[in-house]
Amino acid sequence: MSVSGLVVFTHLDGAAIVADALRAIDGVEVHSPGEGGRIVVTVDQPDDGRAVQAMNSIRDVEGVISTSLIYCHFDNFQGDQEDSR
């Protein structure tokens, strides 16, 4: 499981449209309304590959200026199980 927190930066007048587009991306949850052109989102995916795909989708949304990864956590349960054998 991969959980990440990002701040998405947009133009002030386009934040609401960008937030709506972000909500349409699988595994992405919007936590702030985009005040000041900043939108806080979390990405919750079953693995790092899908998390990266979601982050790339966020980056590619029209109106996104930039993104900053603030937090990332990855649980590798399968690897832990293999190590315990």
Sheet holding 64-74, edge to edge: 28-30, 38-45, 2-10, 64-74
Looking at the 3D structure of the chain, how many domains does it have? 1
55-59: long-range pairs with CB below 8 Å, 24+: 55/4, 55/6, 57/25, 57/28, 58/6, 58/8, 58/22, 58/25, 58/28
Which pTM does this prediction carry?
A: 0.84
Which domain range does residue 45 map to?
2-83
Q: CATH number for the domain including 73?
A: 3.30.70.920
| pLDDT tens digits, 13-44 | 999 999 999 999 999 999 987 889 999 999 99
pLDDT on residue 78: 61
Contact 69, 51 (CB under 8 A): no
pLDDT band for 84, please (50, 70, 90 cuts): very low
pLDDT higher than 90, residue 77: no
